[in-house]
Amino acid sequence: MRKVVAYETRADEFPLFQKFARKFDLDIKYVDDVLTPQTAVEAKGAEAVTILGNYPVGAETFMALRDASVKYIGLRTAGYNHIDQEAAKAYGIRFSNVAYSPYCVADFATMLILMCVRKAKQILSRVEAQDFSVEGIQGREMHNLTIGIIGAGRIGSIVAKNLSGFGCNIIAHDTVERDELRGILKYVSLDELLKESDVITIHTPLFDRTYHMINQDRIAKMKDGVCIINCSRGAVVDTDALIAGIEAGKVGAAGIDVLEDEEGIFHYDRRTDILAHHQLAILRSFPNVIVTPHTAFYTDQAVSDMVEMALTSLVSFMETGKSRWEIKS
């Protein structure tokens, strides 16, 4: 029976780990903490570990894993920007990510679009205060809007299909154009998308070329009152530029599920803590901004997919020395 160490195991994941451990004949050790140079010792005697994406994995951690004889990491996330790929290569540790149900994020993004264009945060806040007036909460109708999708891949394409039922005009920008979407949306340049969209929803991975893709210059090209939705990665948006755009009235609303420097805050109970994240405090204070704590992925199907695929990948690594989901530098 092969041994795997699972770090950051959530309560909702535990029965899934048990289920797939039986399927793959695995001995799984559970560690509540994140993977660090100090907690890597917990993996001694295991060939593989699986982690989430809540903490950076750098050279010291990879060195500690190597010293514990770990060869493989199976991420239970699609994103891998928290992994120092050069350090992984230097210490001979290979890793993979997962591709979970795209419907979870696509549906969540669609929800945020609807909530923003109908001013749901303001309405709900008023109801809590027993203010049932309607002045200032007039919304817009979807069929009158142009929705721009940056990144019409696995997730963005489903967002487009979701939105097609509302009768809105859908445009998209992507490096790869899918023939299956041509009857649903129109592909345009990024500049045209920025100029024409009433709502912009972002579904692109975080790479060097997409870091701060939405910045001061690009916000300036957008329509006045534009709504920006980000369910991809926090650093795709320059948060300071977004705040400046909201304060200037250029950005009329935003739905933010991911945020720069969210690590250590999102997915944790910080109710009694003083948070030194000024951007988060500012964004939460705006009546036209919805902030959710990186929960777009969080559905029963997606969580099951993440656990199953991470373990499938590790079994493949251990049995064959390769995995179809391996991330290669």
Longest Cα separation, the chain = 65
User: For residue 127, with 0-12 CB atoms within 10 Å meaning exposed, 13-18 middle and 19 or more buried, which class applies?
Assistant: exposed
Query: Around Cβ 192, how many Cβ atoms within 10 Å?
Result: 15
- Active-site choice (76, 94, 203, 294): 294
Query: Around Cβ 311, how many Cβ atoms within 10 Å?
Result: 26
Print burial letters for 134-172: b (CB count within 10 Å at least 16), e (below 16): eeebeebebeebbbbbbbbbbbbbbbbbbbeeeebbbbb
Per-residue pLDDT, averaged over 95-115, amounts to 96
Backbone angles phi, psi at 254, to 5 degrees: -150, 145
Query: Around Cβ 238, how many Cβ atoms within 10 Å?
Result: 20
Q: What is the pLDDT of residues 22-72, one digit of tens each?
A: 999 999 999 999 999 999 999 999 999 999 987 889 999 999 999 999 999
Residue 233 among the catalytic residues: yes
Helix (H, G, I), strand (E, B) or coil at 293: coil
Q: What is the mean pLDDT of the chain?
A: 96
High-pLDDT (> 90) share of the chain, %: 94
User: For residue 286, with 0-12 CB atoms within 10 Å meaning exposed, 13-18 middle and 19 or more buried, which class applies?
Assistant: middle
Please state, in angstroms and rounded to a whole number, the distance separating the CA atoms of residues 214 and 192: 14
Please state, in angstroms and rounded to a whole number, the distance separating the CA atoms of residues 207 and 225: 28
Scanning 75-118, the segments in alpha helix (DSSP H) are 85-90, 103-117
Residue 294 among the catalytic residues: yes
Give the total residue count for the chain: 329
For each of the domains in the chain, give its residue range(s) and CATH number, in order of start: 2-100+300-327 (3.40.50.720), 102-291 (3.40.50.720)
Closest CA to 319 of 114, 32, 26, 98: 26
Q: What is the pLDDT of residue 241?
A: 98
Q: What is the pLDDT of residues 228-261, one digit of tens each?
A: 999 999 999 999 999 999 999 999 999 999 999 9
- Active-site choice (94, 233, 260, 308): 233
Q: What share of the chain is helix, strand, coil (3-state, %, to 5)?
A: 40, 20, 45
- Active-site choice (262, 278, 284, 319): 262
Q: What is the pLDDT of residue 54?
A: 75
Per-residue pLDDT, averaged over 267-285, amounts to 96
Q: What is the pLDDT of residue 79?
A: 84
User: For residue 256, with 0-12 CB atoms within 10 Å meaning exposed, 13-18 middle and 19 or more buried, which class applies?
Assistant: buried
E strands, the chain, where?
2-7, 26-31, 48-51, 72-75, 94-96, 146-150, 169-173, 186-187, 199-202, 226-230, 251-256, 289-291, 326-327
pLDDT-derived band at 262, boundaries 50, 70, 90: very high
